[in-house]
Amino acid sequence: MHEYIALLKHNKDYRFLWLGNVVSQLGDWFNLIAAAELITELSNTGVAISYLFLARFLPLFLFSPLAGVLADRYNRRMLMVISDVLRAVVVLGFLVVGVTGQVWLFYLLTIAQFALSALFTPARSAVVAMVVERKELVTANALDSFTWSTMLALGALLGGVVAAVFGAETAFVLDGLTFLLSAWFISRIVLRARVVEGPGQGGWLDFIDGFRYLWGRPYLLILSLIKATGSLVWGAINVLEIGFADHIFPFTLFPLAATLRIEDGGTASLGIIYVVSGLGTGLGPLFMRRILGSKPPRLIFGAALGMVLVAAGIWGLGTAPTFGLFLLATFVRTVGSGTIWVFSAVLLQIVVPDRYRGRVFAFEFAMLTLAQSVSTLLAGMLQDSPRWGLQPGALLFSGLGALFSLGWLVFYSWSRRNSTHERVQAFWDAGD
């Protein structure tokens, strides 16, 4: 842990970026728990929950191309601050939904919130490579992942308690305040000067220019799709695990629930699942990095191995006879997904020039959210289907994950035979 603490101590700009991430993500998990509770009250069906995640994912897909262009053309710090302030306003609008009970307003506000998140995410991914040294990229991304996971665990736990004790409205207010605090931290970052392209041809045409950059480098194009293939598998679990928590492993089934006087067993179980997910996604990249190291060829192998763990963990979710084994399978799955997330981000930050980073990360994020949207919609339909249900649906996605695992291992083997790893290593050694 020494290197992570040292990075935060000596790098002021990354420290502000990290602190903004801490408070914002803490609020995000408050928001998700509260939103899941609210949509369950308004319309308790698998498809309704799928629509919740679609409202979160599709705006990210639709607005990411424009966001990537903006991140390459304008001040990235200012884009993040604007996004945070506007999201604070939108999140407070959820208080109106609790009063009116209007489902359409709930989805509309969710779409607005995540359209603004689409503006934030590519800019932040590009800024990481601007405020840390190249040799510190793995450390910074692993710390970001550990932070995301810690906030998942802490935010899910506290969010579940706040939503259960004080109501969803309090969770939404706290989420809005975290966005404002995040904006303040990010406003204090000082970015070094960079070369910004000229006026360009317009949003979509500039995004296409970034895609042409990837298309001319197939190896990078494939790397930018690692998260998308993973999200096509793990996206479904975002929906299915809510059903598992509510209908198969509600906390009210356990004696401790009566002692703690917990009445909403589904929310309590979901909070515990998210805590374990946070531990897996946080510790997984740190553990994998310790074993595999930080060189690009090992990062590529680690991402492929992460997909294997995702498939194995989801198989465990579909077959677990007890809540304890379900949580163990969740831990295995999230170790894999956390490894995929961190290792693929570092690879792109290493090899993509600064003038293209915003658009490349926007493309990666757009493909990820499109795949996740398809996955969540299918999961909701399977959950409501009398022929499928929760456990068979999980096994179906486990099989899909196994297929992707094979594909990524074949890609790793092919790249070794074609000396592609050596060319990526040269990027690492030489810089942009």
Distance CA 239, CA 116 (A): 23
Amino acid at 113: Q
DSSP 245: I
- The CA-to-CA distance between both ends of the chain, in Å, stands at 29
Token pair listed for 142:
């692993």
Half-sphere exposure of 363 (CA within 13 A, CB side): 25
Task: For residue 294, report the phi and psi dihedrals to the nearest 5 degrees.
Answer: -115, 0
**What dihedral angle (degrees, nearest 10) is formed by the CA atoms of 400, 277, 223, 398?**
-10
> What pLDDT is attached to residue 5?
81
> What pLDDT is attached to residue 130?
83
Can you give the pTM of this predicted structure?
Answer: 0.69
Longest CA–CA span in the chain (Å) reads 65
For 338-390, the pLDDT digits (tens) are 888 888 888 887 777 777 777 787 788 778 888 887 887 787 777 766 666 67
Could you tell me the domains of the chain? Answer: 10-191+201-430 (1.20.1250.20)
SS3 190: coil
Closest of 301, 291, 299, 288 to residue 414, by C-alpha: 301
Amino acid at 352: V
Token pair listed for 402:
């196994």
| CA dist 163 → 25, 153, 155, 272 (Å) | 17, 15, 11, 14
Per-10-residue mean pLDDT, the chain, length 432: 78 90 78 72 66 77 78 84 91 80 81 86 82 78 77 70 71 85 91 55 59 78 85 80 75 50 60 80 81 76 88 86 88 90 82 76 81 80 70 77 82 66 51 43
DSSP 134: G
Token pair listed for 239:
């929906």
